[in-house]
């Protein structure tokens, strides 16, 4: 089946208009979007919560399809992904809008911008150009990042298929707020699914992100791994007074161990004050080190300190023989004792993935980890 998003018309500037996937037409021209658990009911002329999916005369349109506001060749470690094609560069794309409204978003200039009014200032980047752009910039893959990729699902889907056709790996850096239906459309084409887990209660998600169903985030991460074989890494941005208590950190770590496995990397990253949370301090280093201890006590084998360049908590230490296997300094990566994804000294499996998924094969069978 050709799942590529259909072009349904031409706008006033002569550009293609892309009809969205996964929505229902209701009475009186209203539509219901099924891409994320917000399940927005959208009246004609209005946009969903993400401000990137707009009802035009009863047709839901993906207004940011193929229109990017950020394009860069980034180290894969910046996503952060530490156990997926380490040391490689990834073509990174973002646009306007988000299905969350986080009070402390670092990328608020784009995530909370209005795509409807801002779209004409965005650069057009057809999916057919991605392989050449990747090659010219020395990239081995394509990442949808900076803002929430779920809100331009159609572009990610088309782009990921083109990327795979050209031997490029694919990455989503996501808040995980996606319906199972939409995940089942996109995840077969995604190699690495990097999910933020911001807390472990509805109250916290309502407070921080203004969404109600945090279980959907957990379910998406679990499904991406168990059903679709994606390589999954989890990030928790540790925010003083919000999610830095032992109970919350332990709950997240325990969930990762139980549902995603002890070898799943968990990044506990330093919060930098922004927006409505600018009154809070940056996360103390000691708090991050406590989070690492909590993660290890819960049974996680790879817990990393993030946003603190030069901290020893960026390194990979073999969970079996406790020797240094990958040294990282900021985005500099050096193999110390990594061979075929295993510890060179004791043979421990380090869950380092260096190959893309095989079509129709789930993660446990997909080729795992070759060294650099």
Concatenate the DSSP letters of all residues of 310-348 into one string: T-GGGSEE-TTT--EEEEEETTEEEESSEETTEETTT--
E strands of 192-346, at which residues? 192-196, 231-238, 266-270, 303-306, 316-317, 324-329, 332-335, 338-339, 342-343
> Among residues 151 and 342, whose Cβ is nearest to Zn ion?
342
Least distance from Zn ion to the Cβ atom of residue 303, Å: 17
> Among residues 183 and 303, whose Cβ is nearest to Zn ion?
303
Among 59, 72, 280, 346, binds Zn ion (CB under 5 A): 346
Binding-residue pattern over the window 282 to 321 for Zn ion, x denoting contact by CB under 5 A? ------------------------------------x-xx
Binding piece for Zn ion, criterion CB under 5 A, among 40-48, 78-86, 116-124, 343-351 = 343-351
> Among residues 287 and 316, whose Cβ is nearest to Zn ion?
316
Binding piece for Zn ion, criterion CB under 5 A, among 29-37, 263-271, 305-313, 336-344 = 336-344
> Among residues 104 and 319, whose Cβ is nearest to Zn ion?
319
d(CA 255, CA 300): 10
Sign of CA pseudo-dihedral 195, 197, 203, 205: negative
Sign of CA pseudo-dihedral 240, 243, 247, 250: negative
Q: Does 343 bind Zn ion (CB under 5 A)?
A: yes
- Rounded to whole angstroms, the maximal C-alpha distance in the chain is 67
What residues does 326 pair with on adjacent strands? Answer: 316, 335
- The structure tokens listed for 361 are 């094969």
Least distance from Zn ion to the Cβ atom of residue 98, Å: 40
> Among residues 3 and 322, whose Cβ is nearest to Zn ion?
322
Least distance from Zn ion to the Cβ atom of residue 347, Å: 7
Among 22, 345, 366, 370, binds Zn ion (CB under 5 A): 345
d(CA 198, CA 177): 12
Binding site for Zn ion (CB under 5 A): 318, 320-321, 343, 345-346, 348
């Amino acid at each position: 089946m050709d799942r590529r998003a259909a072009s349904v018309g031409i706008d006033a500037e002569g550009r293609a208009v892309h009809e969205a996937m996964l929505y229902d037409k209701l009475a009186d021209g209203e539509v219901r979007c099924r891409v994320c658990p917000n399940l927005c009911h959208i009246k004609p002329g209005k946009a969903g919560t993400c401000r990137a999916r707009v009802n035009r005369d009863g047709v839901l349109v993906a207004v940011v399809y193929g229109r990017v506001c950020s394009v860069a060749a980034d180290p894969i470690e910046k996503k952060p992904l530490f156990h997926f094609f380490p040391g490689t560069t990834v073509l990174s794309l973002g646009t306007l809008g988000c299905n969350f409204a986080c009070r402390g978003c670092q990328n608020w200039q784009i995530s909370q911008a209005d795509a409807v009014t801002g779209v004409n200032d965005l650069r057009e980047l057809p999916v057919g150009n991605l392989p050449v752009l990747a090659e010219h910039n020395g990239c081995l893959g394509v990442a949808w990042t900076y803002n929430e990729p779920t809100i331009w699902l159609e572009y990610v889907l088309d782009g990921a298929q083109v990327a795979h056709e050209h031997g490029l790996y694919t990455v989503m850096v996501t808040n995980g707020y996606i319906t199972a239906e939409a995940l089942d459309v996109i995840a077969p084409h995604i190699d690495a699914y990097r999910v933020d887990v911001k807390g472990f209660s509805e109250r916290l998600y309502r407070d921080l992100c203004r969404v109600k169903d945090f279980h959907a985030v957990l379910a998406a991460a679990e499904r991406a791994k168990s059903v679709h074989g994606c390589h999954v890494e989890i990030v928790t941005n540790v925010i003083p007074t919000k999610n830095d208590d032992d109970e919350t950190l332990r709950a997240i770590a325990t969930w990762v161990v139980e549902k995603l496995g002890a070898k799943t990397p968990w990044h506990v990253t330093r919060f930098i004050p922004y927006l409505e949370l600018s009154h809070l301090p940056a996360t103390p280093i000691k708090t991050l080190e406590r989070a690492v201890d909590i993660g290890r006590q819960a049974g996680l084998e790879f817990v990393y300190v993030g946003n603190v360049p030069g901290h020893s908590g960026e390194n990979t230490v073999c969970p079996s023989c406790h020797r240094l296997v990958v040294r990282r300094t900021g985005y500099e990566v050096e193999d110390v004792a990594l061979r075929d994804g295993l510890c060179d000294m004791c043979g421990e499996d380090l869950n380092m993935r260096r190959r893309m998924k095989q079509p129709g094969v789930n993660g446990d069978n997909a080729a795992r980890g070759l060294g650099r």
